[in-house]
Amino acid sequence: MRTAVVLLLFFLFSGCASAWDTTPHRAMTRAALDSLPPAYRAQIAPEIPSILETWCMLPDRYAELVNFGFRRNSPGPKTVEEMQPYCVRPDGETIHSATWDRDEDLASLVFLYMRIASALHDKHPAEAVRYIGVLAHFLEDSLSPPHAAAQPREIHAALEHEVPALRTPQPHSAGAHIVEAAEAILDRLYAAADLNRKNMPAMVEAVSAKNQPALIALCRAPAQSAADLLADSLLTLFQLAAR
Ligand SMILES: [Zn+2]
């Protein structure tokens, strides 16, 4: 009962803590992982189920624990100490989704990219996939349609549950080094978020009219963009780690 109350309070007041529901997060993350060349995918293959099950939801898990004292029963880390190294930068800033402060967001991306590339280079896949999960969540939540603009809670909730069918991305290198790649990915993330904001009136109209096909169509572009950005990030990091 206490758990139910805590959860209810969490979903009523969490604001930007939740964004996409678990199923859309997993769909976007899976599409990006499926896009990796087989040789790269093989390096983390045994860990892929844990990325989808646990790590791509780690920032929500961390926020639930820190803000509400709610601890998920599902497999995965249970304490702040276990999650902090992946969800909090060394300067103390928490990583969840874009803040739209470019310097802050660049710092988060560079931190995650460096940790992923170094863990892959050192052949520590179990460590790499934890940061990969946080990166996935960061890119995906940033393009969650209701985060583009304020709107009534029922519309927020409706948008977060949509799971449009995604195509497998065709990944490209985002840059020759980590900062260049992070800058390029951030530019594209901000552009995709602008499109989300532009589409918000049409999304609100689709929710109000209970027009599910229109809603799914409008959620497809941001979800696909998130999968594409994650795919390009990962390809680039595997390439850099192999040098
Ligand atoms: Zn989230």
* Rounded distance from Cα 102 to ligand 1 centre (Å): 19
User: Could you tell me the pLDDT band of residue 150, with boundaries at 50, 70 and 90?
Assistant: low
Q: What is the mean pLDDT of the chain?
A: 88
* Rounded distance from Cα 18 to ligand 1 centre (Å): 4
Distance CA 132, CA 75 (A): 18
Q: How many residues does the chain have?
A: 243
Which residues line ion ligand 1, judged by CB < 5 Å?
19, 60, 141
* Rounded distance from Cα 19 to ligand 1 centre (Å): 5
Mean pLDDT of 38-45: 98
Angle CA 88–94–98, to nearest 5: 125
What pLDDT score does 206 carry?
Answer: 83
* Rounded distance from Cα 88 to ligand 1 centre (Å): 14
Question: What pTM value is reported for the model?
Answer: 0.88
Distance CA 85, CA 80 (A): 9
| DSSP state letters, 74-117 | SSS--SHHHHHHHHB-TTS-B-SS--S-HHHHHHHHHHHHHHHH
Pick among 1.10.575, 2.60.40, 3.30.2420, 1.10.155: CATH of 19-241: 1.10.575
What is the domain partition of the chain in residue ranges?
19-241
